[in-house]
Structure 1
């Protein structure tokens, strides 16, 4: 089922009016005071956020029973990677007791599940002490992928662990990693920052680093290859727009000239199962060159889900030979009822570039 008003005829007319091409950096980086954008990112097409969302998968099971936190696509091998906090009472190799869900959240213990594009689980691994999993990036490599996540988790004032550094490691089915594991490469692009997370632009091979420093959230855009060498010279840096200060932040991604964010909260219910809230999930596009909001739209994708919580954004390229056919995916966590609370994941996408 489609969660938003149908508009297929308009989409068919406009969707392929022009292709999206990978944009090269042009001009030079101009350094300015904090509070302004610093960028020279080439002009590109953007997703039309009024475009109705199409369903890709509805309510599939992941590796844990807890809510989806974020996800990313391996567009080369057609794999989907999801991140969740480890569920209560899950005992991992080397552990001497079971931990509660609260303890897992405080420590920042994550489960990463690999699925094929049919929604079938084909592997999972665990990350102890990494963070909350607000966003992950995927870098294809051979028939597998390197994953980018937060790491070196530190609890905040609510005893929720968030990363203070950035990690890169290869997915390994069944592995249990810690921040200092030999398989993990750690980066510190913003010393002293908290709430570090990352996302990958798969068309332009760029990495986005979101972090909090001096009480404010910032985003920096990097060339992925340069970042891997430890060269932290951003192509663009912007402050988080004020419109995102109040809502519950739920994820982000980037394609070309635009950063995309997701915010909102889950439906609420009375004890008898009566829903007492409406969809309040917004997708926002932000220009890397100016730091200004270009478009902000309510999305009702998956509106008919019983429990519906927005959880992550990612870029899918169904055909790697045709990057103009990019999709902006919205992740949603859900549960079947007040008594059947094991969380499932749904994915909807927009694909109209203008």
Structure 2
């Protein structure tokens, strides 16, 4: 998925969309809670024969979960993850151009940051207030990640050991969150896992409700998803995951923008930002953001539908996907990158069953 900082045009591999809404976000004893009803349901653009459910979620209408919100850096968001226990949202983005961190001799360009796999992580409240950040150097691009609350600590599951050829992760990394820290992928505090030798573009996410780890990866010319019980993954039993191929759910011309695991399904997000009128994805097209589902038991597709919410968002690139269990009811949530005059912002929309 593209990144943009300091008026640079980003080059991306992900995207998504939904209708605007009034927002009421709050905290409950159970974690993150919200109530944002879409003011204007999206007009269906798919044939009526298109099944309303993709996996277990109805994508015909949705609600705004987070209004366009600036992150710690000005670059575009890449992905997000929920800590429902503590009513928090975490996001990843590549570093903006010209930043010199405290232990660096000079500022670094956005291009060099991206190639190196340097990322900025932002912690937000449910209402979008920034409450913390970290800099992660040499980790990856931030396609997807997970957040694991353990007592008073929070562990991040992210890409690790960025490939210097493209900046994407070659391992699954697990490390504690520490507000304000600058952390290198080579730091001893980072635990690295190599569950899929020979695979590239590794990107984890978590299904905390089901106690599972999802690892998106590429093997040869195939895009795949591997599913592990979390206890087995951490104990070193990673030899026999459930593996499904993305197949036609990620078409060659589409940008892969994120994934999530819930119940029996892997959910896949693809799409591009709006182009000008002469481009392949002009605003009048309604966008080309799609959510697909794959059954992890059989590997078979279980629906694919275009997301038509929030058609008036500026830029509107889908960026990231995660499932929230706030209030005990699962919601499939997607992010959009929104372009403003001097930065990119993140907005989130949710879908329920």
* Contact residue 160 and residue 169 of structure 2 kept, 8 A: yes
Kindly indicate whether residue 143 of structure 2 is the aligned counterpart of residue 134 of structure 1: yes
Residue aligning to 2:347: 346
Taking the aligned partners of 2:159 and 2:349, their CA distance within structure 1 comes to 25
Give the alignment of 1:25-104 within 5 angstroms.
46-104=55-113
State the 1:233 CA deviation: 3.7
Segments ≥4 residues shifted beyond 6 Å: none
Question: Which of the numbers 203, 207, 213 marks the counterpart of 1:197?
Answer: 203
Partner secondary structure for residue 92 of structure 2 = strand
5+ unaligned residues in a row in structure 2: which ranges? 1-19, 21-37, 45-53
- The one of 320, 326, 332 equivalent to 1:328 is 332
Which residue matches 1:255? 262
Deviation track 1:251-276 (CA, whole Å, cap 9, x = no partner) reads 000001000010000011369xx957
Contact 2:333 2:350 in 1 (8 A): yes
- State the Cα distance separating 1:97 from its structure 2 match: 0.7
- Among 227, 244, 248, the alignment partner of 2:250 is 244
- The counterpart of 1:184, out of the listed 180, 186, 190, is 190
Does the alignment pair 1:223 with 2:232? no
**Structure 1 residues 276 and 327: alpha-carbon distance in aligned structure 2, compared to 1, 3 A threshold:** closer
Q: Give the TM-score normalised by the residue count of structure 1.
A: 0.81
Contact persistence 2:57–2:332 (CA under 8 A): no
The question of whether the paired residues in 2 share the 8 Å contact of 1:268 and 1:277 is answered with: no
2:309 and 2:283 map into 1 onto residues whose CA distance is 17
Cα drift, residue 51 of structure 1: 3.8
Deviation track 1:4-30 (CA, whole Å, cap 9, x = no partner) reads 4389xxxxxxxxxxxxxxxxxxxxxxx
The CA RMSD measured in Å over matched residues stands at 2.0
- Give the match for residue 293 of structure 1: 301
Counterparts of 1:48 and 1:177 in 2: how far apart (Å)? Answer: 37
- Counting only pairs closer than 5 Å after superposition, residues 92-171 of structure 1 correspond to structure 2 as 92-156=101-165, 160-171=166-177
State how far apart, in whole Å, the 2-side matches of 1:231 and 1:95 are.
39
Which is further off, 242-251 or 310-319? 242-251
- Residue 21 of structure 1 is matched in structure 2 by none
For 1:143 and 1:347, how far apart are their aligned partners in 2? 26
Q: How does the TM-score come out when normalised to structure 2?
A: 0.82
Distance 1:307 1:282 in 2: 16
Aligned length: 303
Displacement of 1:81:
0.5
Provide structure 1 residue ranges, at least 5 long, that are not aligned to the other structure: 8-44
How far does residue 227 in structure 1 lie from its aligned partner after superposition? 0.6
SS at match of 1:232: coil
Q: Which residue of 1 aligns with 2:180?
A: 174
- State the distance in 2 between where 1:281 and 1:275 align: 12
Measured in 2, the distance between the counterparts of 1:265 and 1:305 equals 13
Deviation per CA, 1:117-147: give whole Å up to 9, x if none: 1111000001111111000111111234111
SS in 2 for 1:106: helix
Choose the corresponding residue for 2:274, options 267, 279, 291.
267
- Whether the 8 Å contact between 1:222 and 1:233 is mirrored in structure 2 is no
Conserved 8 A contact 1:109-1:127? yes
Match of 1:303 in 2: 311
Query: Do the aligned residues in 1 keep the contact of 2:249 with 2:292 (CA within 8 Å)?
Result: no
CA distance in 2, matches of 1:175, 1:6: 45
Q: Is the 8 A contact 2:259 2:267 kept in 1?
A: yes
